[in-house]
Chain A
């Protein structure tokens, strides 16, 4: 039950969260790279100075004096060639400051005193290598990861259920041939094929969805076929057949609905596998591509920056692991609930 609550919370956070954090997932703050996680408002005292120096350099002016009064900074700028007022846009463009107001002009335009409000930004989980808000990125990445997990699982579920039910219900030679085909596919080193596909043809979301679904439907087909074999001999199926219902009708109306219990269990355990496979491929650089992002991409970024900024690995990894654990526990719980023997 706790697992379900955690899942719903993560899904909800990923769905509405990116709009609530106050950051655009792609907005980079070049002055605030690899900030650790924390509650303090940014830019803090340690970052204001270097940030102002960088901006002054871009404006081609000297920064003669900085005075801080609450949230308002009072800057004294100077340049022998004259301070170009248009270059003041660099201040708000950095994302750290509000619109500047000119207080005073000195030396016939070679000096300028400007008041500029410092913004109060919060990066709860810190920032990444480019200075983007990690929380927002984790949440938008979660949208992609969860969407792929659900979509690929759904595709695998549809193929697997249809295939398994057909094989089990038709029986005989058809069943033997169909399941032999599944056995052959089981023996193929599938992860290798997925990697081949994605290396050779440009990695894309559709290709990855197809590849993952093609790998993951086999278990479902086996589970559904085993169930169908016993359902086929039950009285209600015989009755339907005696009434003249055709094979597609019986499979759709009588077989599939009765397999839904074990299908639900298998599907719940399938979703974490799919998410894991997706993040594994993305980690290798074969999955989701920039500018889109997924938990696997973020974990890969974090693993590269692990010495300088361990939070960059920890944050997306926690989201990923929490989701996977919750899904696995939910699947276990469903299996126990539906199995009368256990308990």
Chain B
């Protein structure tokens, strides 16, 4: 098991390296720089700034020194937020994105699994038929349509919830963004669970259990363990994308999360901030995929020997 984890971690090194290299050179090739203001700086001041941040050195040297400081756990200073390091900014933005994403994940998994199981147990029942249309509908509702609609309904018309803003994480500020983030995933998870559980319920061992007179609830519990495999595999990347924040949801609801920092950083050519957020997302994707694989191995003994 430990060897498996170590091997996967070793495999993730080239991936991370690819992410760093591509985003580093992509950004430096792009026209414009972090100190391009509307009113151009005096050439001498510009030169000083570039020297202080080390931008006057050859690109490959800059890349080397970035890697060197990265190994020491330093993501560098931010170019656009003065006197703040990128780690600082991530430490401020990540809790916001993670709270939203975590709650959205819980909501999506709870509702999605529940609906999926209900639909699989009663093929052609009310839940099943509802899910047929409902899943396709939630998958097709873009968050940038859902968010304004929710704002109008609950923020402007009913005045139950605040329109936007973070409000220091007050629960009332979280409701609408969490629903917006979770909604498309409810349909996806429900559909996946329904298909997977439906398949397991038709297998020989399940039929045997039924014929031996096991109560339906026990049968479902046994079947569910096998049926969860594809769902758990799907949860890895899903959790990563939810936890690191949706750019759109954070923009519409005006939340100070990672996604906002990324877009602002890209627009301001804040090289280090963009690199930091991209690395964070890539790291989370890799870590959560690994966690999902481990969970699959725990659920299915056959995968342990294969790994």
Contacts and interface: CB of A to CB of B under 8 A. Distances in A.
A325 B144 contact: no
Interface of A: 184, 186-189, 191-193, 195-197, 199-201, 272, 276, 279-280, 283-284, 296, 299-300, 302-303, 306-307, 310, 313, 317, 320-321, 324-325, 327-329, 332, 341
The 4 closest A-B pairs by CB, nearest first: A200-B30, A324-B140, A189-B281, A328-B136
Contacts of A184: 14-15, 18
B232 to A, nearest CB: 16
Contacts of A327: 140
Contacts of B18: 184, 188
Interface in B115-146: 132-133, 136-137, 139-142, 144-145
A200 B137 CA distance: 34
Contacts of B15: 184, 187-188
The secondary structure that dominates the A interface is: helix
Interface of B: 12, 14-15, 18-19, 22-23, 26-27, 29-32, 132-133, 136-137, 139-142, 144-145, 147-149, 151-152, 156, 199, 202, 237, 244, 247-248, 251-252, 262-263, 266-267, 274, 277-278, 281-282, 285-286, 289
A335 to B, nearest CB: 9
A329 B136 contact: yes
Q: Label chain B's interface by main secondary structure.
A: helix
A321 B142 CA distance: 8
B107 to A, nearest CB: 21
A188 B282 contact: yes
Residue among B31, B262, B266, B286 with most chain A CB within 10 A:
B266
Contacts of A299: 142, 144-145
Nearest to A332: B136
B247 A195 contact: yes
22 contacts: A187-B12, A188-B18, A188-B282, A189-B19, A189-B244, A192-B262, A193-B22, A193-B23, A196-B266, A199-B263, A272-B140, A279-B144, A280-B142, A283-B144, A303-B145, A307-B156, A317-B145, A324-B139, A328-B140, A329-B133, A329-B136, A332-B132
Nearest to A323: B140
A310 B152 contact: yes
B289 A187 contact: yes
Nearest to B286: A187
A313 B282 CA distance: 34
Nearest to B244: A189
